[in-house]
């Protein structure tokens, strides 16, 4: 099975996040990465610290209801992985537009993945500008329709 957007396994998508804070959201998505076998439980604490250090340098809440917390050089990872969480209530994420975040794309990269990491960030930034993509992700009724939306829309971004 190929990874959606180059980093995301469809089993690592949470349709209804329980998190109500930025920290809880990141922990919830890290737990999903562990459940999928992408991240070792022993590395979660260090990876959480790295993600939060990145957030302190500047929020990854990009506006339009999207956040893309990300970190490179994660211990225990050789490639790129991550998780996607959706929150119907919205999560305060210190986004640049001040609005809550409804879609959280967590991207984790192992050493030597900087080039691929940047390409994924560019792709997500481009998709963020597509209001139809965002609405379809927010409104998808189930996992298959959300996955189909990602496949369809990400194919249209160079």
Residue 78 inside a domain? The answer is yes
Total residue length of the chain: 158
Asked whether the beta carbons of 29 and 83 are under 8 A apart, the reply is: yes
Dist. CA 82–CA 69, nearest whole Å: 10
CATH value at residue 109: 3.40.930.10
Task: Tell me which residue of 102, 80, 74 sits closest to 12, measured CA to CA.
Answer: 80
Q: List pLDDT tens digits, range 114-153.
A: 888 888 888 888 888 888 888 888 899 999 999 998 888 7
Catalytic residues: 70
Residue 4 inside a domain? The answer is no
Is this model's pTM higher than 0.85 or not?
yes
Q: List pLDDT tens digits, range 67-123.
A: 999 998 898 888 899 999 999 999 999 999 999 999 999 999 998 888 888 888 888
Split into its structural domains, the chain has a count of 1
Dist. CA 147–CA 85, nearest whole Å: 13
**String of b and e for 55-73 (b: at least 16 CB within 10 Å)?**
beeebbbbebbbbbbbbbe
Tokens for 131?
């209001």
Domain that holds residue 93: 10-154
Residue 45 inside a domain? The answer is yes
């Amino acid at each position: 099975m190929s990874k959606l957007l180059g980093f995301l396994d469809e089993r690592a998508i949470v349709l209804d996040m329980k998190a109500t804070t930025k920290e809880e959201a990141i922990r919830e998505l890290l737990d999903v990465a562990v459940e999928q076998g992408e991240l070792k439980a022993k590395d979660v604490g260090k990876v959480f610290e790295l993600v939060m250090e990145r957030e302190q340098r500047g929020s990854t809440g990009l506006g339009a209801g999207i956040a893309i917390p990300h970190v490179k050089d994660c211990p225990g990872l050789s490639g790129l992985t991550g998780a996607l969480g959706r929150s119907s209530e919205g999560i305060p994420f210190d986004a640049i537009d001040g609005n809550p975040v409804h879609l959280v794309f967590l991207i984790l990269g192992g050493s030597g993945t900087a080039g691929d990491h940047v390409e994924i960030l560019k792709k997500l930034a481009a998709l963020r500008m597509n209001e139809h993509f965002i609405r379809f992700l927010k409104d998808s009724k189930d996992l298959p329709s959300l996955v189909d939306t990602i496949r369809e829309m990400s194919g249209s971004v160079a």
